Structure 1
Amino acid sequence: FIWQGPDGTELFAVHLPKAGYGNAVSLSEDVDQAYKQIKGAIDDLLSRETSKSLLLLNGSDHLYAQLHIPHLAKELNKYFKDIEIKQGNLAEYIDYAKKTAKPNLNKVTGEFRSGKDAPILQSVYSSRMYIKQANERCEKQLENWVEPTASLAWLLGRDYPENLIWTSWRWLLKNQPHDSICGCSIDQVHKEMLTRFDWSGQIAQEVMNKSLDYITEKIKIDYLKKDELALVVFNPLPYPIDENVEVRIKFPKEINLNRVKILTIEGDEIPYQLKGYGLDYKIVFRPFGGPQFPEVNYADISFTAKDIPACGYNTFIIKAINEVKIFKEYDTDIRVGRDYIENKYYKISAETNGTLTIVDKLNDKIFKNCNRFVDSGDAGDEYTYSPPLNDKIIVCRLDNISIQDIGPAEATLIVSGKMILPVGLKPDRKSREDKKVECPVESKIKLFSEVQRIEFKTTFDNQCHDHCLKVEFPTNIKTDYVYAEGHFDVIKRSIKLPDSEGWVEKVYKTAHNSGFVDINNGKHGMAILNKGLPEYEIIPDNNTVALTLLRSVGWLSRGDLEYRKGNAGPSFPTPEAQCLGEYIFYYALIPHQGGWDDARISQKTRQYKTKILTKQLKNQPGNLSDKYSFIELEGDYLEISAIKKNEFEDKLVVRVYNPADREATGKIKLGFDIHKVYLGRLDESYEEKLPYDDGVK
C-alpha cells in the first residue's frame, strides 16, 4: 500500500504478516516440518497479496542466523510448483515488490495505532518515566544547545568538536533501542542506561561550555566600572524571546554588596528580584597549575530579559550596590495574596482541596479543578496498562497552601500534602489492597513577570506498588479533537475512541505526545506542555487533559491482562519498574487565544524546554557587539529543528520544518557572510542552489 504523510509525501509500505516479524522463525532442519510452517505463512500472505513478492521473516529478537537456511530453501522449492523460495534481504524484497505490485495500490494516511490485529503496546510511553525524562534532557541539550553553539563557534574560527558531539550522541542512541527507551526490559538494562545518559550529558555539557566561552571571548566590553559585571544572556532558538533569567552573580571579594542593579546596555534599569546574597567561591582552572578557589561575594537574582535576539545573545550590566537604606521594590505585573499569585496573563488561586482555579485574563475564561492528582490501580506490566477488575480511584486532597519567592520578577504558589494510597494489589490482582501508605506530594506553581506560561514542579514520593498517577486539567472546551506534538508534525486526533471489542489489544485511552497537548475550539484553548512526560489522556467529561506522571508495575510481561491477549515478552519480575522513591515532574500550562498554531504553542513549548544560559564578563577586547543575532527565522508556524555543521563538508545545515496543516513561507536572516545556499536533504546531501539576498525565501 501507499502511506501518505502530512505533507503529501508518499511512501511504498508493506503490511507485516499476521504472525508479526517472525512468520518463518526457527525453521526446523526437517524439511517436511519446515514446509508445514512455510505453507501456513504463505497462505496468510496470499490472502492479502498485492504483489508477487512474499515476505518470509526467518528470525526474531535475540536469535542467531540459522546456518541450514540455504540448503532448506533449495529443498523447499521441490514442494512448490508456482512459488520460488529464495534467501535474500529486505532491500531485495522491496525492490521486487515494487516491480510486481498491482496498480492503484490502496492509499493510507494518518497514524497506525490500531490494535485490532496486533498489539501496539502503547503503555510503554509511561513505563519507567525517569528514563523518558533523562532521554529528553539529553536530546534537548544536544539539539538546542550543543550543536547550535558549537556551529556558531566554528563560524567564528573554532574547530568543530565533531568527535565529542558524536560520542555524546552515540551514548544517547545506545539507550534508544525499542525495549530500552520504552522501559520494558529487565532492571539491569535500565540501570546501565542511566550511566550512558550521564556520559552523554557530561560530554555535551563540556562541549557547550567551551563553545559559549569561545563566543563570549570575542564580545567587546569596554564600558564597565569596577563594581560592574556584564551578564551575557544566550538564546539558542531561531526567534527572539522574552524569558526569565535566574542566575548567581559573582563579584570579587573586595566588592561588597547587599543588592545589585540590572541595567540594559543603554543604561535603563530593569526590575529584578534578589533571592539571596553572601559569600561563595568560584573555581579558576589554570592550564599549568592546579585549580584555584578564590572567595567571591554573590547575589542570586531573577529577572525577565526582554527581546533576547534569535540564535544570539544580549548583554546586561550588573552593578553591585552596598547601601544601608531600605530598597524600594519595583512595581511589575506580579501580584500575590494569601492563596493566589498573579501576572498580566493569569491569576491562580489555590482552593481548600489543593486544586487550582486559573483565570485566563486574555480570554476572560476560568478553569477550575486544575492540577488535580488522581491515582488508580494498575494490574498490567511494562508494556500495557491494565486496571484491576475492581479498581479504586483516589483523588488527592492537598491542604497545605503557601506563597514563596514573592517579588517583582516571579512568585510561587505551593500546595502540598499526603496522598493515602493502597500499598499495592491483592494477591489475586483483581483489586487494590486495604492497607494504605502515605505518599507525600508537593506542587510548586510559578508565574514570571510578563511571561505567558504557568510552570509546575511537582514532587511525589512513591511508596506504593502497582498504580498509576495522573494530573488533570479540566478545560470545559467543546471540541471533538485534540492536538498533540509529534515528530516534525502536530497530530490531530479524535477524542472519541472506536469500539475495540474483539481486538487483539483494546483501544487505549492514552496517546503519545512529544512536548505539548492542546485542546481548542478555534477561538480559545489550553495547552499542556511537559518535559519528558510523553503520555496523556483526554477524559470526555469536560474534555479534561490528564498527563501521566508515574506508572508503577512489577512485571516485564504478564499473560492475564484485561487490555491485551497473551504475553508481550517473557514473564520476568521487574521490581525496579515500581519506581519507588522521590520523583520530580515538570510541566506547564498556557491558556491561549485561537488555535495552537495561531498561539505559537510549538515555539513556546521549545522555549519552555530550553533553559536560558548565561556567562559573566569583565572589560575585554573583541570584535563582536554586545547584542547579536546569528540566525533568525521569520514566518508564522515555521520551526528550525537543527543548526549544525554538515557531517561531510565545511557547510552549515539549517533544517526548517512546518508542523502546521497549511503552507507557510518565511525568511532566514543570517548574521554572517555566506557564499552559496543550497536546498538539502535529511542525509545532508544537497543539489539545488537557491537564490538569496538578506535571507532565504
Structure 2
Amino acid sequence: MKNHAHDSIGCCCSDKVHREIRNRLFIAEEKTDQLIEFYKRKITDAIQTDRTEDRLTAFNLLPYKRNEVFTATIITKLSSFQLEDETGNRIDFEVLEKEVIDPGLIDRQIVHYGNYDPFYKYTVQLKDTIPAMGYKTYFILEGENSMDHSFKEVNTIETDFYSISVNKNGTLKIFDKQTNELFDQVLLLENGGDDGDEYDYSPLLGEKLIYSHDVEAKSIVRQNKYGGEITISLCLPVPSDLEARKNGETDCSVDVKWHITVAKSKPILHIHAEIENYAKDHRLRVLVPTKIASRVSFADNQFGLIKRGVFDEAMGVWEKEGWSERPDAIYPMLSFVGLANDNRGVFVLTNSTREYEIVGDKFDTIAITLFRSIGVLGKEELIRRPGRPSGIKLPTPDSQMIGKLELDFAITTYAGTFDGVKIARIGKEYTTKIETYNKIPYDAMKLNPSGIHTPANFSLLEEIGETVGVISTLKKAEKEDALVLRLYNPSEQGVNVKMKGAQQASEVNLNETYLHSLDVEQGTFTLFIKPNEVKTVQLK
C-alpha cells in the first residue's frame, strides 16, 4: 500500500524513490510467492494415502474443470520415472529440460552426512483435466520411460486452430482456421523518439518511425504432440538518443528475443519477451494486425469492460479551446484489449505491459507499448502537453530503461459475435495458470504435521451450466469462519450464476456485511448478476 501513493503508482518519481518502490514490490511479491508455496506444500503433505512415492500436485484456481497442457517441475534422484494418478492410470508426459542439481541446494543436511549423489530437476509437459477450484495428485514411480521429448524442427506449426510460420524479419504469419483469415507481420516492432517525461509520452515532430520490416532475424520452430514453440532473436537498429534521432543516425540498437508457445488444442499464442535496451529517449511498441476496421476497442477495467473510441473527436478542438493536454487515444487495460466485429475478434492478453493504442489507416492494428525510455521527471513545452512541466524538472537516468526487460503477453482469436464474458474468462485463464507442487522426502525447512487429512483429489466449488460470469476472488472471510466469493458480469445482459459446493450462502456487500440469504439446494445456489454488476457471496 505504500506504493499506491498518486505519483508512486504512476512511476512519476525520482530514481531514489523508485528504487524504494521496486524493493517494496520485490519483498511483497517474495512473501506472497513463499506463502503460496507454503500452503501448496501443507495441502500436499497432508494427503492421506498409503502410497510412499514422491508426489506432484496440480492446482486449478478457477471454478470449472480445466483440460489443458501445463508444465511442472519434478526434482528426483531417479534417472527414469513414470507418473500415475490415484487410481493407477498412467499419465503421459514429455521432458522439456533436465538439469543436474547439487544435493546441498535441496537440503544441506544431505551433504552434511557425506551424501553427494546429485538430484535431477526435470521440467515436464503434460495434459490432463484438473478439478474445478481444486487439485489433482500424481505419484512419481521409478520405471523405464522415454525421458525425452518429441519436438521436431518444422517450418510451420499446425494446431487445431492455427498454422504459424516465421517471416525473415522475425514477424509471424498466422492462418486462423476458425475464420479463414491470414494475419501477416504479427509482432512487427515500431520505434519512435520520446521527448516526454515520466508523466507523458511526447513524439518528435516530423520524425520517420523505425520499423523492423527489413531486419534479419534468427528463428527456431519446433512442434511436439502438445503444441509448438518458436524462438526468435532480432536486433533493431535505433538512434542512441534524441540528438542522434534528429540527425537521422542509427548508432545503437534494441535486442529482442521472443519465446512463443502455443498449445495444440487452445487458441492462444503465449509470448515471452526478453528485451535488451541500449538507447535513450524512445518508445518501443509491438503491432498486432487484426484486419478489423474499427471505431471502438474493447478492454477490461476493474470488475468490467470498457468500450473506447479509437479516435478522440476532441483532437480537432483541443488547441483552440486551450486544453492543457492533447487527447490522444492511448489507453490502459488490465488484462486484455481487442477489436471485434459481428463475425470475429482478435485480442491481446497481458500479464505485464498494460498500455495500448489502436493504429493504422483503418484503425485495425493493436499497438502495445513494450516500454518508454525517458530521462526527466517533468519537462515543459511538450508537443502533447504545451506549457508548464507536470512535475519538477529533475533528471531520472534510471527511467531510460537501459538494460534487460522481460514481459509476458498473448494473442487470441475467436469466431462469432463479441461476448464480453467469454473474453474476460479467457483473460482470467491466461493470468491464472495451473500451479504445481512437487513433494520429495527432503526439505530444508521442516514442518510439524498439520493434523489435517486431505484427499488426493479435491474440488471446493464448481460452476454449473454455460459460461456466465467471471470470478474476481475467493478469499477467507475477514471476521467469520467462512469463504467470500466475488463475481462480476462484464456483459450487457443479466446472467444467472449457479455454483455447487456450499452448505450455506448469503449475499454480502464489499465490506462483508450481511444483506440476505440465498437458497441452497443439494449444495447448489443461484445468483443473478446484472450487466456490469459485482456480487459478493459468503459461503460455509
TM-score by length of 2: 0.86
Aligned residue runs from structure 1 range 194-593, under 5 A: 194-223=22-51, 229-251=54-76, 253=77, 255-257=78-80, 260-277=81-98, 279-280=100-101, 281=103, 283-284=106-107, 295=117, 297-298=119-120, 300-322=122-144, 337-338=154-155, 340-396=156-212, 397-403=214-220, 406-426=223-243, 431=246, 434=249, 436-500=251-315, 501=317, 502=319, 503-542=323-362, 543-566=364-387, 567-593=389-415
How far residue 435 of structure 1 moved from its aligned partner, in angstroms, is 5.0
For the aligned residue pairs, the C-alpha RMSD in angstroms reads 2.9
Note if contact 2:137-2:457 (Cα within 8 Å) is conserved in structure 1: yes
Note if contact 2:420-2:491 (Cα within 8 Å) is conserved in structure 1: no
* 1:85-118 CA-partner distances (Å, limit 9, x unpaired): xxxxxxxxxxxxxxxxxxxxxxxxxxxxxxxxxx
Partner of 2:480: 649
How far residue 293 of structure 1 moved from its aligned partner, in angstroms, is 8.5
Equivalent position to 2:455, from 600, 619, 625: 625
Aligned residue runs from structure 1 range 580-619, under 5 A: 580-597=402-419, 600-617=422-439
How far residue 205 of structure 1 moved from its aligned partner, in angstroms, is 2.0
* 1:90-147 CA-partner distances (Å, limit 9, x unpaired): xxxxxxxxxxxxxxxxxxxxxxxxxxxxxxxxxxxxxxxxxxxxxxxxxxxxxxxxxx
Which amino acid is the alignment partner of residue 166 of structure 2?
A
CA distance in 1, matches of 2:236, 2:290: 24
CA distance in 1, matches of 2:66, 2:22: 33
CA distance in 1, matches of 2:192, 2:203: 8
Partner of 1:636: 467
Note if contact 1:373-1:472 (Cα within 8 Å) is conserved in structure 2: yes
SS of aligned partner of 1:665: strand
Note if contact 1:221-1:622 (Cα within 8 Å) is conserved in structure 2: no
Partner of 1:159: none
- Identity value in percent: 28
How far residue 560 of structure 1 moved from its aligned partner, in angstroms, is 1.1
Note if contact 1:596-1:602 (Cα within 8 Å) is conserved in structure 2: no
CA distance in 1, matches of 2:472, 2:114: 40
Note if contact 2:274-2:405 (Cα within 8 Å) is conserved in structure 1: yes
Greater strand content: 2
Measured at CA, do residues 660 and 296 of structure 1 come closer, stay the same or move farther in structure 2, by a change above 3 Å?
Answer: farther
CA distance in 1, matches of 2:204, 2:409: 28
Aligned residue runs from structure 1 range 109-120, under 5 A: none
| 1:696 paired to 2:525 | yes
Measured at CA, do residues 285 and 244 of structure 1 come closer, stay the same or move farther in structure 2, by a change above 3 Å?
Answer: farther
Which amino acid is the alignment partner of residue 124 of structure 2?
S
Which amino acid is the alignment partner of residue 196 of structure 1?
R
Note if contact 2:96-2:125 (Cα within 8 Å) is conserved in structure 1: no
Measured at CA, do residues 604 and 571 of structure 1 come closer, stay the same or move farther in structure 2, by a change above 3 Å?
Answer: same
SS of aligned partner of 1:666: strand
Which amino acid is the alignment partner of residue 274 of structure 1?
V
Note if contact 1:403-1:411 (Cα within 8 Å) is conserved in structure 2: no
Note if contact 1:473-1:544 (Cα within 8 Å) is conserved in structure 2: yes
Structure 2: runs of 5 or more not aligned: 442-448, 527-540
Structure 1: runs of 5 or more not aligned: 1-172
Say how many residue pairs are matched. Answer: 505
Greater helix content: 1
Partner of 2:532: none
CA distance in 1, matches of 2:486, 2:495: 15
Partner of 2:533: none
How far residue 299 of structure 1 moved from its aligned partner, in angstroms, is 5.2
* 1:444-495 CA-partner distances (Å, limit 9, x unpaired): 2211232321011122111111111000011101332210011101111122
Which amino acid is the alignment partner of residue 341 of structure 1?
I
How far residue 175 of structure 1 moved from its aligned partner, in angstroms, is 1.0
SS of aligned partner of 2:23: helix
Aligned residue runs from structure 1 range 68-147, under 5 A: none
Note if contact 1:284-1:291 (Cα within 8 Å) is conserved in structure 2: no
Partner of 1:660: 491
SS of aligned partner of 1:648: coil
Which structure has the greater CA radius of gyration? 1
